[in-house]
């Protein structure tokens, strides 16, 4: 073991999502046909109004307040209050360079233990490891939409000696693309045991049925709402996210502000000014077109993979599916994904990267391997999509799904 590296750091490996993207790009450059179903990045352009705001404010060069630009924090608070019926004000909002950084600092500040549904996003657990926060996994199944039931949550909590617990809920879910249907029941358990909840709502605007619910509606005093520009606004590379922290968790908010001041100082000024336009304006037409494409694409992948050999939950939001290959016989899900990549060129992430048992032949599939800008231009408005639109605008989706199904049938 390297004497210069802390033990908890030496146990880590690069983020699985970033690693699969780099591996895919490397194979692609070598001449191999690759279907990039492993990296969860929005394929769509940033709305023109927001891009123009960035251009207008490109000359802004001074440090902004550590907590974030006041006008932006107000716009975000108003936005949340409108869509979620929350009661946030500008002082409840902290702006960060992406929610990933804010979650990392939260883990450092938090004194207690972490409860994660399995599966969960790949960075929750490594961040807890870095911060030396013990992680308790709650195994879920497709029968519960890949979310914990109230009963499984309570049973887990009862067996944990530490009572200062941080529960992560991510809906729509990464990696399964499903929506949590029992938020109110989970909130009741959280309230009963005084849990703190981190509600990761980065995909909330991409809920296909427009009926999004936040757990903060049922447990406002104990829920931190987390979101940003990366998924719904197509601005992952801009690196802007936020936390909305209720007044009842004021001490936590103040500690987090200190950590922000001692780490990233403040978020890029031009990005913050541009983000005001993202949260202050109505982007319903843009989002309607984006969700129409994602919903149709997800449904196509689901219907073409679902069989007696592949178990898969219907997509409800975001841009992921979580297929289980029931006839696959490999030593681990990682070995299965390596075989798929080698034989078909389809890049997937093994379910074990998200907290599942490595013996389960499950993988995450991101259906975003297409040019979102051209897809939007050719299908915007009231036009109903059909398979011809998909073949024209997302040929890698069509061909990659076919290759994946052929691989499964050949086992």
Q: What is the pLDDT of residue 254?
A: 97
Confidence of residue 152 (pLDDT cuts 50, 70, 90): very high
| pTM of the entire predicted model | 0.95
Q: What number of helices (H) and strands (E) belong to the chain? A: 15, 14
Contacts of 196 (CB under 8 A, 6+ apart): 110, 112, 164, 165, 166, 167, 222, 223, 224, 249, 252
Assign a CATH topology to domain 7-45+284-410. Answer: 3.90.1150
Model confidence band, residue 1 (pLDDT cutoffs 50, 70, 90) = low
CATH architecture for segment(s) 48-280: 3-Layer(aba) Sandwich (3.40)
pLDDT at 373 (0 to 100): 97
Could you read off the pLDDT of 179-237 as tens digits, one per residue?
999 999 999 999 999 999 999 999 999 999 988 999 999 999 999 999 999 999 999 99
Domain segments of the chain as ranges: 7-45+284-410, 48-280
Residue 356 has pLDDT above 90, yes or no: yes
* Spatial distance between the Cα atoms of 180 and 158, rounded to a whole number of angstroms: 22
Residue 110 structure tokens: 């938090």
Q: How far apart are CA 190 and CA 188, in angstroms?
A: 5
């Amino acid at each position: 073991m390297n004497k210069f590296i802390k033990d908890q750091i030496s146990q880590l490996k690069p983020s699985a999502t970033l690693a699969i993207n780099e591996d895919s790009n490397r194979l692609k450059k070598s001449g191999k046909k690759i279907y990039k179903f492993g990296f969860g990045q929005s394929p769509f352009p940033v709305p023109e109004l927001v891009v123009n705001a960035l251009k207008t404010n490109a000359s802004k060069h001074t440090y902004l307040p550590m907590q974030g630009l006041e006008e932006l924090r107000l716009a975000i608070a108003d936005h949340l209050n409108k869509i979620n019926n929350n009661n946030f004000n500008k002082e409840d909002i902290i702006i960060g360079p992406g929610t990933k950084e804010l979650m990392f600092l939260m883990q450092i500040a938090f004194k207690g233990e972490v409860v994660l549904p399995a599966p969960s996003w790949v960075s929750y657990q490594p961040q807890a490891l870095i911060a030396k926060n013990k992680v308790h996994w709650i195994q879920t199944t497709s029968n519960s939409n890949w979310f914990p039931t109230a009963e499984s949550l309570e049973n887990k909590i009862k067996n944990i000696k530490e009572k200062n617990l941080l529960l992560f809920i991510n809906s729509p879910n990464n990696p399964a693309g499903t929506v949590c249907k029992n938020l109110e029941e989970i909130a009741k358990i959280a309230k009963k045991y005084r849990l703190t909840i981190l509600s990761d709502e980065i995909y909330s605007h991409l809920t296909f049925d427009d009926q999004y619910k936040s757990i903060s509606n049922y447990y406002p005093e104990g829920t931190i709402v987390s979101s940003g520009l990366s998924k719904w606004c197509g601005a992952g590379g801009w690196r802007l996210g936020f936390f909305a922290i209720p007044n009842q968790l004021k001490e936590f908010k103040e500690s987090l502000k200190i950590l922000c001041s001692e780490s990233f100082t403040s978020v890029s000024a031009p990005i913050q000014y541009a983000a005001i336009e993202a949260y202050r304006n109505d982007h319903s037409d843009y989002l309607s077109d984006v969700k129409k494409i994602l919903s149709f694409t997800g449904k196509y992948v689901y219907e073409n993979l679902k069989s007696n050999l592949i178990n898969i939950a219907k997509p409800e939001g975001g841009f992921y599916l979580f297929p289980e290959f029931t006839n696959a016989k490999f030593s681990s899900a990682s070995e299965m994904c390596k075989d798929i990549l080698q034989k078909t060129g389809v890049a997937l992430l093994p379910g074990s990267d998200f907290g599942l048992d490595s013996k389960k032949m499950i993988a995450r599939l991101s259906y975003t391997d297409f040019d979102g800008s051209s897809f939007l231009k050719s299908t915007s408005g009231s036009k109903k999509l059909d398979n011809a639109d998909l073949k024209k605008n997302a040929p890698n989706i069509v061909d990659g799904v076919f290759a994946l199904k052929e691989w499964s049938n050949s086992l």
